[in-house]
Structure 1
């Protein structure tokens, strides 16, 4: 796996919209944050465009993203906002420049499409807060993103969870938003999880949808292939008039319990108050025992 060059003061980061529309005013706190780190900021042409929910047409969003991959001054590309739409533009992008000279692509949720697609090209990416999310991000969220971008040590220690499954595993970290991972199965962007440690998170889904998606991953042998599993935020779930009868975490526990791998629940990443940065494609050590969980990036 190729690890893009870590940032240094004076480097340039571009902010683009691959999905939902965004205004430049909504990015001011993200710009200020980057500038406080000594980073120069370029605002992409997709910022301010409007096509109903989306930031311009699929072609416009793809062209903006591609232009930043080809700009030699840009060392990282930060996605402005999620929602939906990245899957509509990913196949319009020429990734040859990014494949030859990897640079950091940052975001989460809908950006999972790009994470999986780029990881399949043997380049690492950063699962972290969106640029518009800086306005409500915790200090810990922002600090873990800074550490990830500048190549500083990333290590997370969590308290025990009653659903945790003990064990220790080493492998590349992969994953992202469960709904998005489910939606790209069978495409060329489908996640490769062979001998990897899988991270998943989700938001605002019906509980039976969580069951459906987890069963799909199971029937596609994902849990047989992986070496460990990290469950991030599973927040604001919905139920039907006739209850499903299990929480999201209970669903995940029941479906994955038969596999002899370490499993960590309630990792603070995803649609959570603190969204800790994760370098997807990098080797990690996952240790889960009676004392809690430790995730160390090697």
Structure 2
């Protein structure tokens, strides 16, 4: 059974850095992001780790875990949004209090997606893969990013619909942010290995392949248990995105997932746009997608609104989603069923 938190206007956002914090020279970004959240009607509470960064992490694992656990227990904190991702979140998993996990939203992506996946697999509490806090520092939000509020405000038993973006960002311009932070210049076109139209339904799970692959075979990556005990053996619909992997490393990671049973009883897989996916001796990401589709005999969608080439939809781990795609356009309907 899946438990869904509910976002309410006026909620308090807890800001902690279970992976990377914000170094001193970039503190103005975090300050501005908190200011924008408050202008939109939220309160913010920034804890110590959000403001520190050294040796690829915000703080020692014990400090990060303790701060996150305290924020979970704090009844005055309604949802948790880390400033951004990072590299070494995996260090804190064995120190988190999964046994007493409340119905509280955690939102983020990149390395944070490992935390999100582990929470939902271990506890059945839904988590949200989408924007980070730093990317909400703009004067405005583009239509796709802005949907995070509507998605997180959806109640159990209700559904929420998101449409594919019109344009996406090809490359970051950190020193020249637009009023939306992003520079959305390239026409969005979702693609597929199948003949169109494509219609897929399944329970959402996913994240950044670079990080989530490392919990295969651990207590934090028990997909089979989740499927059997929490969603009554419904089919899964995976969304995955690649931050830094070459096409060959992507293939290795996906084969490992397949061998570990992560794609058993799977309705389909969706891959986000990626600036990585570098070809290896002519072997491309598109080759990887087609081979996986042929092996699993399921539809594969790619270049979707997910990951490090924004904007991105807000995908809820545990929700039942229906995806309809044709002629490069797509609609994702998430049903918050237990």
Is structure 2 residue 115 aligned with structure 1 residue 84?
Answer: no
* Match of residue 173, structure 1, among 204, 211, 222: 204
Answer whether contact 2:80 2:105 (CA < 8 A) is retained. yes
1:126 equivalent in structure 2: 128
Gap change, CA 1:263 and 1:292, over 3 Å in 2: farther
TM (norm. structure 2) is: 0.79
Find the residue that maps to 1:264 and give its secondary structure. Answer: strand
Answer whether contact 1:138 1:273 (CA < 8 A) is retained. no
What is the RMSD computed on CA atoms of the aligned residues? 2.4
Answer whether contact 1:201 1:234 (CA < 8 A) is retained. yes
* CA displacement at 1:123 relative to structure 2: 0.7
* CA displacement at 1:201 relative to structure 2: 0.4
* CA displacement at 1:27 relative to structure 2: 1.1
Counterparts of 1:164 and 1:267 in 2: how far apart (Å)?
A: 15
1:155 equivalent in structure 2: 162
* CA displacement at 1:255 relative to structure 2: 2.1
2:271 equivalent in structure 1: 231
2:171 equivalent in structure 1: none
* CA displacement at 1:45 relative to structure 2: 2.2
Answer whether contact 2:145 2:311 (CA < 8 A) is retained. no
- 1:209-252 Cα deviation digits (max 9, x unpaired): 1111122122233333211211112223345xxx4312223212
Task: Note the 1:262-277 alignment, pairs <5 A.
Answer: 262-277=299-314
Is structure 2 residue 84 aligned with structure 1 residue 61?
Answer: no
Answer whether contact 2:13 2:45 (CA < 8 A) is retained. yes
- 1:147-198 Cα deviation digits (max 9, x unpaired): 2222283322475625345543322100111122211101111152642111
Gap change, CA 1:10 and 1:148, over 3 Å in 2: same
Task: Note the 1:197-276 alignment, pairs <5 A.
Answer: 197-239=237-279, 243-276=280-313
Counterparts of 1:225 and 1:173 in 2: how far apart (Å)?
A: 13
Counterparts of 1:235 and 1:138 in 2: how far apart (Å)?
A: 23
Counterparts of 1:157 and 1:233 in 2: how far apart (Å)?
A: 12
- 1:67-113 Cα deviation digits (max 9, x unpaired): 11000011101112212111001211223332xx2100111111122
Find the residue that maps to 1:265 and give its secondary structure. Answer: strand
Gap change, CA 1:295 and 1:163, over 3 Å in 2: same
Gap change, CA 1:168 and 1:82, over 3 Å in 2: same
Counterparts of 1:231 and 1:165 in 2: how far apart (Å)?
A: 17
Counterparts of 2:39 and 2:297 in 1: how far apart (Å)?
A: 45
TM (norm. structure 1) is: 0.88
- Unaligned ranges ≥5, structure 1: none
Counterparts of 1:229 and 1:262 in 2: how far apart (Å)?
A: 7
2:118 equivalent in structure 1: 117
Counterparts of 1:246 and 1:191 in 2: how far apart (Å)?
A: 31
- Unaligned ranges ≥5, structure 2: 166-188, 228-234
Segment of structure 1 superposing worse, 78-87 or 287-296: 287-296
